[in-house]
Amino acid sequence: MDSWDALKTECSSCRACPLCEGRHNLVFGVGNEQADLMFIGEGPGEQEDLQGVPFVGPAGKLLDSMLEMIDLDRSMIYIANMVKCRPPNNRDPQGAEIAACRSWLDRQISLVDPKLIVCLGRISATALIREDFRITREHGRWFDLGSRRILATFHPSALLRDPSRRPEAFMDLREIRKEYRALKSSHNL
């Protein structure tokens, strides 16, 4: 049976893809390890690589504000990325890197066992929902992923680059809050 200790220890020394060469820190994941809601981004940026924590820096601050808007904070969710080591110059992680890193993420998902997953951006949505997923057209909709439900919204970095997307992202957040509240009230029945 898997455990967080085993997973963290094994993952910390991973050299399964070339991204290990440039990392200062492997960015494993953070948050509530029994959360009902898990957020999955792309990969660490510069600050994340330096601090070893996902979603710090400007995109992280925006993510915190987004969570606050829907009455959540980091203690209530779990956050991870598709790849745990920083791609050079903040480029998108490549397919082979995502594939090499996938087993770590799958084990995180199994251990957290969230009922709801939110993909932050195109990279995690195409990896976890559907290869041809179009974030601009299909964001904000729930899909089934086995026994879980999964939705994609814009990555905070994309919202920093293109603030015109923020109203759409806000609608997605409202949808996440609605589903999360329904889940919590069903637990209390």
Q: CA distances (Å), 189 to each of 18, 35, 48, 72, 179, in order?
A: 49, 19, 40, 21, 16
CB nearer to ligand SF4: pick between 32 and 94: 94
- Degrees (nearest 5) of the Cα angle 151, 126, 180? 10
Q: To which residue do tokens 């879980």 refer?
A: 148
Q: How far is the CB of 88 from ligand SF4 (least distance, A)?
A: 12
Nearer Cβ to ligand SF4 (127/159): 127
3-state secondary structure of 41: strand
Task: List contacts with ligand SF4 (CB under 6 A).
Answer: 14-17, 19-20, 26, 83-85, 97, 100-101, 104
Helix runs in the chain, H state only: 4-12, 46-51, 57-69, 95-112, 122-128, 135-138, 156-161, 166-187
CA quadruple 98, 104, 110, 111: dihedral sign: negative
- Looking at beta carbons only, is 5 or 144 nearer to ligand SF4? 5
To ligand SF4, the closest distance from the beta carbon of 58 in angstroms equals: 23
Asked if 166 contacts 159 with a C-beta cutoff of 8 angstroms, the reply is yes
Nearer to ligand SF4, 19 or 125 (CB): 19
CB of 7 to ligand SF4, least distance (A): 11
120 CB neighbour count, 10 Å cutoff: 28
Closest separation between CB of residue 100 and ligand SF4, Å? 4
Shortest separation between residue 94's beta carbon and ligand SF4, angstroms: 10
Q: In terms of CB distance, is 36 or 42 closer to ligand SF4?
A: 42
Least distance to ligand SF4, CB of residue 123, Å: 13
